Amino acid sequence: MKVSFTSSSLVTPSKPTWNGIMQLADWDQIGYISHISTVHIYKPPHKQENSSIAFINNLKDSLSRLLVHFYPIAGRLRWINGGRLELDCNALGVQFIVAETKAKLYDLGEFSTSSEMTSLAPRIDYENTSLEEHPLLYIQITKFQCGSISICPAMSHVIVDGRCASYFLAEWANFARGESLDFLPFLDKRILRAGEILTKPTPPNFVPFVTPPLLIGQKDVNQEREKETTVTMLKLTKNQVDLLKKAANETRPDKSSRPYSRYETISGHIWKCTSKARGHKAEQKTGFGISVDIRKRMQPSIPQNFFGNSTIDVVADACSGDLVTKPLGYAASRIRETIDKVDAMFVHLTIDFWKNQEDFSPFQDVHGCDEGPFYGNPNLGVTSWLTLPFLGLDFGWGREVYMGPVTHDIDGDFILCPDNSGDGSVIVRACLQVPHMKAFKKLFYDYV
């Protein structure tokens, strides 16, 4: 799909904001430190009082007013010693791009599998420009010939995690509709001990993360990384979700434990089906990556409006043979046990671990260069968007007709999203190697 760019400008806060250096928390500086994109597609309202020109101008104006409150995202990153980063809150602004295409919305076909979606995302030149030069937020607005519009924000993962990104977009939608903020952002990163210098050593037996296992007989992940993947979207009705939860809870190993959550149940089901579909040997170790929100796990808890990264990645493990032959409660229990170990003490020990690292660069995936942990075959990871306000964002044209990631092409990557109907159904976005997808889809519903 050919896209023509009509304008590109920096949007700055509409009022003066605090300027200075903000110390980043350790979580902000490890893992993926590039931009993460989502795309939101809207059809024009039946009444055309709100034209596309007025709609885009309002998006730009409301964004400028929003940046007064979310001023860190209008700043720039800079490298400091030890592969670490700091944030210069200088109000240089965010990039606002307007584009148009002669394509119509139906040309995208199935949104989730369309290769054309990347045309709707900002093109960020990582090759020829340094990290310090990049705005922390790029937004591309694309007008379709049929009158529809896509909004595609690309936000720096150094500044936000998924919860913060969705929170920012929800507040922008409020401003665009002429409403006020639901919550002021909590910007003080000292709550995660940002800037603190640690002098005590980390306990020698403490390891905050586990490297996911390799396929039996392989020495690295290169062969699996290169294999072709495919994407599908599978729907679980509320009744099917309830049936899975019933099956998991009736077979949980510890009958005295609290009932399994929707995430634990569906994720256990995915893990079980994936292990079977991949045809693993019974003794094959498989890792399950989980991103755990620590806001409520700290003492005292972190404010829910904290603006920054506040998740810990941990890995559950099991043998494929056990996952395939044992009931669903077993897979859910392995996930539960791993999540439960992330308590306040674990969080502080993890912070201590990172503060004792002299160089962060080995732990950073810079601009998607695939240096981080590999969750492809024999591993997987399930990210939940079920409680994030990504869906249903109304910027003045009503609810979107589609919302999702721009790209989703990494083997073993699964995303749980609420169905657009709002009836409690769940959409599972699945990416697997091509030879495994057919078997996975069959097992996914056979096991329900």
Token pair recorded at residue 303: 């404010």
Task: Please indicate whether residue 352 is annotated as part of the active site.
Answer: no
Coil, helix or strand for 406? coil
pTM over 0.85: yes
State the first-to-last Cα distance of the chain, in angstroms, to the nearest integer. Answer: 38
Task: Please indicate whether residue 348 is annotated as part of the active site.
Answer: no
pLDDT band for position 190 (cuts 50, 70, 90): very high
Q: Which residue among the candidates 35, 40, 69, 157 is catalytic per the annotation?
A: 157
Specify which residues 243 forms β-bridges with. Answer: none
Q: Which residue among the candidates 61, 88, 365, 394 is catalytic per the annotation?
A: 394
Dihedral sign for Cα atoms in the order 276, 280, 283, 284 = negative
Taking each helix axis as running N to C, give the angle between helix 328-340 and helix 238-250, from 0 to 180 degrees, rounded to the nearest 10.
Answer: 80
Q: What pLDDT shows up at residue 115?
A: 72
When computed from its CA atoms, the radius of gyration of the chain, rounded to whole angstroms, is 22
Choice among 30-39, 91-100, 204-213, 223-232 with the minimum mean pLDDT = 204-213
Task: Give the right CATH number for 4-192 from 3.30.559.10, 3.30.420.40, 3.40.50.880, 3.40.50.300.
Answer: 3.30.559.10
pLDDT band for position 444 (cuts 50, 70, 90): very high
The answer to whether 186 and 196 are in contact (CB under 8 A) is no
Dihedral sign for Cα atoms in the order 81, 87, 88, 94 = positive
Q: Tell me: pLDDT of 276 over 80.
A: yes
- C-alpha 22/C-alpha 32 separation (Å) is 20
Query: Pick from 156, 151, 148: which is nearest to 132 by CA?
Result: 156
Query: Pick from 194, 177, 178, 174: which is nearest to 186 by CA?
Result: 194
Q: Are strands 364-365 and 31-32 parallel, antiparallel or unpaired?
A: parallel
- Three-point CA angle 371, 377, 383, nearest 5°: 75
Q: Tell me: pLDDT of 39 over 70.
A: yes
Mean per-residue pLDDT, 226-249: 95
The percentage of the chain sitting over the pLDDT mark of 90, rounded to a whole number, equals 78
Q: What pLDDT shows up at residue 198?
A: 85
For domain 222-446, give the CATH number: 3.30.559.10
Mean per-residue pLDDT, 148-173: 96
pLDDT band for position 257 (cuts 50, 70, 90): confident
Q: What pLDDT shows up at residue 112?
A: 64
Taking each helix axis as running N to C, give the angle between helix 162-176 and helix 52-66, from 0 to 180 degrees, rounded to the nearest 10.
Answer: 120
Report phi then psi at 419, rounded to 5: -70, 145
- C-alpha 440/C-alpha 129 separation (Å) is 41
Same topology between domain 4-192 and domain 222-446: yes
Model confidence pLDDT, tens digit, residues 119-137: 999 999 998 999 999 999 9
Q: What pLDDT shows up at residue 180?
A: 94
- C-alpha 380/C-alpha 291 separation (Å) is 12
Q: Tell me: pLDDT of 372 over 70.
A: no
Q: Tell me: pLDDT of 370 over 70.
A: no
Specify which residues 428 forms β-bridges with. Answer: 234, 416
Token pair recorded at residue 81: 């010693």
Q: Tell me: pLDDT of 12 over 90.
A: yes
pLDDT band for position 287 (cuts 50, 70, 90): very high
- C-alpha 173/C-alpha 439 separation (Å) is 41
Please identify which residue in the block is written with the tokens 């401003």: 175
**In the chain, where are the structural domains located?**
4-192, 222-446
423: burial class by Cβ within 10 Å (0-12, 13-18, 19+)? exposed
Residue bearing the bigger pLDDT, 63 or 44: 63
